[in-house]
Amino acid sequence: MSSRRRRPTLLYEKKARAKGHKVIAGVDESGVGPLAGPLVAAAVIIGDFRFKNRIDDSKKLTPKSRLAAYEEIIEKSSYSISVIAEDVIDRLNVYNATRRAMEEAVNNLKTAPDYILIDGTIKLSIAYNGESIKRGDGRSLSIACASILAKVTRDRIMDGLHNRYPQYGFKHNRGYGTAFHFKAIRRYGPSPIHRVTFEPVKSLIKES
């Protein structure tokens, strides 16, 4: 028996169509865990398009492959992207901020989906037909597409923030808690785009 990991398929999309649903959107996010920067969610309707590039969980792709997939997805699909700033994440908490980002992405699609495939365990507060799928970005092609759009968009934002705050190494750590990042926070203090309710940022603010 092969142990080779399977790539995302259209299985969930086909099951939804078999139930009579016609417009199916995949939804995913990027940036739940970082100490700095925004949270980004994307909603994608891929329809019947076939992709030339490899579509997979964005974390499984090389930067070059991810960018190639991103370009093809935005060319062939209907999509929407929502960005939630760090101060909103602090105010709402990361779960509610994730839900808001996903809902905004869905609501801003040009065509309203009648079925939504959501990565993880998030339940949207808007009325919808759909399902949440654990590790959905590795199982559903629509969710995988959304994960790629969210990841590339957030990475580009973090590249820009790196230019403003180079001492934190955002271009390399994307705001996540690496040893270099922890050391920079302790040396320079938190930047304006750090999430002040996240540890160790919260404790370092109290100490200063």
11-156: what fold?
A: Nucleotidyltransferase; domain 5 (3.30.420)
**What is the pLDDT, as a whole number, of residue 4?**
57
**What is the pLDDT, as a whole number, of residue 204?**
82
What letter does residue 20 receive in the DSSP assignment? T
Distance CA 150, CA 147 (A): 5
**What is the pLDDT, as a whole number, of residue 95?**
96
Which 3 state secondary structure label does DSSP give 79? Answer: strand
The domain segmentation of the chain, as residue ranges, is: 11-156
Give φ, ψ of 83 to 5 degrees. Answer: -120, 125
pLDDT along the chain (208 residues), means of 10: 69 96 97 98 89 84 93 95 98 97 97 96 89 95 97 98 98 96 94 96 81
**What is the pLDDT, as a whole number, of residue 194?**
98
Structure tokens at 85: 């700033």
Q: 180 to each of 34, 112, 166, 186, how far by Cα in Å?
A: 14, 43, 12, 10
Q: Structure pTM?
A: 0.93
**What is the pLDDT, as a whole number, of residue 45?**
97
Neighbours of 67 (CB within 10 A): 16
Distance CA 12, CA 197 (A): 36
**What is the pLDDT, as a whole number, of residue 73?**
95
Closest CA to 27 of 93, 109, 89: 109
**What is the pLDDT, as a whole number, of residue 206?**
76
**What is the pLDDT, as a whole number, of residue 97?**
98
**What is the pLDDT, as a whole number, of residue 128?**
87
What single-letter amino acid sits at 8?
Answer: P
**What is the pLDDT, as a whole number, of residue 2?**
42
Q: 9 has which bridge partners? A: 140
